Structure 1
């Protein structure tokens, strides 16, 4: 353990999806702009969307995005424990980027608590010896009174880091004053002084109508309102969990030329793979859960899955297998990524019963491949080239999968990688293990231009770089939050807390 150097700030929320992750992202950008070396930290994250560090380790997607906003490399200390649900009441536990076990929640709380506490403490203090500021993200609500005796992600972390806390409430869902006041009252008496202020998020309307409530809140609780953040529309920053799927439409009616249908199965993961289509001027993305809703899109994307077999069964139960096959025969391009790639083949074998008690299930039969699931997980950043439309295009991505896929007959290789290969292509069906494949601007453009050509549309040049677009979005988010939150007052409150010696 090293001497503490960093000044911490923790962001907690009144409930899930209050906006903690996006506020941490904004503060990482703001503190960095203000000259502080800043790192994000989340002791324990439960999410199916993940991010691969430069050394091939897996952390929560939100922390990866926050790292990019801060302009620093990602390390597993920023999210030392990642919990990835794979069955009901069962989850894969990932410690410092590598899976260690599948556990039930009760087992984790009873048997793994002390180990987890040590891991998150050591990670935090390593970061604290390197950075000027650490922005810590909580999870859910700190007022979960049934869990607080052994929680590892809210006030216990604030105590460990001796961090001041700002509490975020979501006014868009209604009842924001009740949720803020109720959360404060349910905190342990010794933890309430850590809360140095609150922020009201996702506000729509005339703020003057809210001002009497703000005055009442400050008088009633003694806690300052540091800001009211207006709802920000069309923010293209990677989301972390399925709650964020609400930003996408499920309606086919749209005036854009290219209809992209993304299959939304229950264990969908790393669905941010499709985010680059959001900056394409003629692409409309919609999520589909039933065969009758698929109709005839131009592109069908089978995204990643945390449980390929269960999601494949879901497709068949909803009639999506037949709908996808019919649309493909009518000319729709089908693109499978990771778990979606595995589903596209002839069969998925699970001899070790990694995902279910079934040893084998039939796939969609769109590609001449079969997959054998394994206990060990591959997590790596990868690069290669794709031959498309008469061009050889460089591509990069990251892989997160348990199992190997082989061709059952001669098939066209999709990606060439220095003597190795990845993925398969057959006609208008393609599949790869590369997450982030559509983040490659030239590849995305060539892929879409083939679709445009099929529809009789003129090809388009490469759209603005998606990574440059994300940098602009980080700047836009930071500017939006600076206008809404009293940042000088926030600094003042942090300094006041730290000058007083925290609460130790």
Structure 2
């Protein structure tokens, strides 16, 4: 069985996911077969595995850093908030239904067998399991029946590294207070602490580190500097929403919906210095973008009504009326249509008019479509005709079925990489497009049309559609051409190779700032490892 090591944090957003990803990369570079694990994750930014199962994006990032295929065993429970008090509960990649927080906590023990079965499957195949906690282990109102922090550490018999965030201040109180609120047996599991997101000269910090070790009896194993790398995030607290970037050749506005999901769809565009990607929440931030992107949402109707009430929808409609490029993905695609209906209350019971920019009507159903796809853009009109024929690959994850109106134009031809039970793809033919098993030129497998386009407005269900350099490059070239610039002024990256470079840089940062010799001793000896000051 694999040896475990666990990274817990003093609170949310201290950098646990990135530190775990960095440790996975270091282990891979050192020839150790490692896999990530997080028993319970709460996130709207999810991913579909090759076998059609849903998991949190952070464990996908960590699996990529470890050089292995993402597996739903790495995240057996995923909570996707639908409102302030309830979440869709996904167990082993499949939805179990929507539960209130009270109901989930009452039933949490029922999920322990699923958690431990997933962990055992991973532990039988790898040398080291890098476990990530959630929030803080010192939430004393939630400690009973905990399955993600010290409760998980006990079930896996894992030694713990405790990380604190110095950037937001109070890191010594964070770490000391967390340790004080733990039971003695839990404190003994903590073999080292890490101070994360430090800016400045470490020598100034050293007296505080000595006092911290004296107070807690636990060694400080590293001070990790504040850094920025293009690494996928899944949390709504992500700094990318607040990051300011100098104006580039292309200005893209992304509507930051209250329940935004899968915002990493735009990471390949954000990574380019010549491209400015702005996340906007109010009409006065709209500006004069070259394109507006509307992302996915965990509550499409409610987020559309939010846009309608705060004036953002009117801005998008005015922009489209002037010939501006609008592109919606998943929930954003649904919003651009004529109507959205949710008769069973899958997300938000009722029927509302869409923005009316695409000839599409959406009806929500209880079954969720979960599949990996690949395909090509069809022959497009409007500003994005440069994208015609470009290949892409990604995944679909939604509970709405969208129907293209008679005579409507589809955006792309796709074929499914995985076969799974769920809502079938859009199989409504438009403009003579072959469907249901009839090959479409340039695609493989059983191809069918997907998405819709009209004028300069486009939409589809495919997450990750800009990951392929042909798709991102064609999109940006079209925007440059529309504004009278040479289409070759921006060159899209090979996103996969670029991410590999980022993971290697992350490993370098971990090696330079964390005592990896001590970490290896802790992995080797587990909870028998002494706290050496």
Q: Return the TM-score normalized by structure 1.
A: 0.95
The answer on whether the counterparts of 1:309 and 1:348 sit within 8 Å (CA) in structure 2 is: yes
Corresponding residue of 1:452: 480
Distance in 1 (alpha carbons) for counterparts of 2:515 and 2:93: 36
Say whether 1:483 aligns with 2:475: no
The Cα of 1:499 is off from its aligned counterpart by 5.2
The answer on whether the counterparts of 2:189 and 2:527 sit within 8 Å (CA) in structure 1 is: no
The Cα of 1:495 is off from its aligned counterpart by 2.7
Matches within 5 A, 1:99-248: 99-110=95-106, 112-233=107-228, 235-244=229-238, 246-248=239-241
Corresponding residue of 1:270: 262
Question: Which has the larger displacement, 165-174 or 292-301?
Answer: 292-301
Say whether 1:38 aligns with 2:34: yes
The answer on whether the counterparts of 1:295 and 1:323 sit within 8 Å (CA) in structure 2 is: no
Query: In the TM superposition, what whole-angstrom CA distance separates every residue of 1:220-245 from its partner, at most 9, and x where no partner exists?
Result: 22111000000013x1001111100x
SS at match of 2:119: helix
Task: Provide closer, same or farther for how the CA distance between residues 213 and 320 of structure 1 changes in structure 2, counting only shifts above 3 A.
Answer: same
The Cα of 1:415 is off from its aligned counterpart by 0.8
SS at match of 2:191: strand
The Cα of 1:447 is off from its aligned counterpart by 1.3
SS at match of 1:26: helix
Structure 1 runs (4+) greater than 4 angstroms displaced: 498-502
Distance in 2 (alpha carbons) for counterparts of 1:397 and 1:357: 29
Distance in 2 (alpha carbons) for counterparts of 1:270 and 1:151: 27
Q: CA RMSD in A?
A: 1.6
Say whether 1:380 aligns with 2:401: no
Task: Provide closer, same or farther for how the CA distance between residues 298 and 60 of structure 1 changes in structure 2, counting only shifts above 3 A.
Answer: same
Distance in 2 (alpha carbons) for counterparts of 1:430 and 1:193: 56
Corresponding residue of 1:429: 457
Corresponding residue of 2:469: 441
The answer on whether the counterparts of 2:2 and 2:125 sit within 8 Å (CA) in structure 1 is: yes
SS at match of 1:324: helix
Q: Provide the aligned length of Structure 1 versus Structure 2.
A: 493
Gaps of 5+ in 1: none
Distance in 1 (alpha carbons) for counterparts of 2:111 and 2:100: 15
The Cα of 1:433 is off from its aligned counterpart by 0.3
The answer on whether the counterparts of 1:250 and 1:288 sit within 8 Å (CA) in structure 2 is: no
Query: In the TM superposition, what whole-angstrom CA distance separates every residue of 1:382-421 from its partner, at most 9, and x where no partner exists?
Result: 0111134275222111000001101224222111124311
The Cα of 1:279 is off from its aligned counterpart by 2.6
Task: Provide closer, same or farther for how the CA distance between residues 195 and 250 of structure 1 changes in structure 2, counting only shifts above 3 A.
Answer: closer
Q: Return the TM-score normalized by structure 2.
A: 0.90
The answer on whether the counterparts of 1:279 and 1:463 sit within 8 Å (CA) in structure 2 is: no
The Cα of 1:119 is off from its aligned counterpart by 1.0
Gaps of 5+ in 2: 379-384, 415-445
SS at match of 1:197: strand
Distance in 2 (alpha carbons) for counterparts of 1:474 and 1:500: 28
Say whether 1:410 aligns with 2:407: yes
SS at match of 1:402: strand
The answer on whether the counterparts of 1:37 and 1:133 sit within 8 Å (CA) in structure 2 is: yes
Distance in 2 (alpha carbons) for counterparts of 1:307 and 1:431: 17
Distance in 2 (alpha carbons) for counterparts of 1:302 and 1:390: 18
Say whether 1:8 aligns with 2:4: yes
Matches within 5 A, 1:225-374: 225-233=220-228, 235-244=229-238, 246-249=239-242, 254-358=246-350, 360-374=351-365
The answer on whether the counterparts of 2:343 and 2:349 sit within 8 Å (CA) in structure 1 is: no
The Cα of 1:278 is off from its aligned counterpart by 1.9
Corresponding residue of 2:427: none
The Cα of 1:88 is off from its aligned counterpart by 2.2
Distance in 2 (alpha carbons) for counterparts of 1:497 and 1:352: 49
Distance in 2 (alpha carbons) for counterparts of 1:44 and 1:249: 27
Corresponding residue of 1:93: 89
Question: Which has the larger displacement, 462-471 or 57-66?
Answer: 462-471
Corresponding residue of 1:54: 50
Distance in 1 (alpha carbons) for counterparts of 2:271 and 2:516: 31
Task: Provide closer, same or farther for how the CA distance between residues 450 and 495 of structure 1 changes in structure 2, counting only shifts above 3 A.
Answer: same
Distance in 2 (alpha carbons) for counterparts of 1:451 and 1:463: 13
Corresponding residue of 1:397: 394
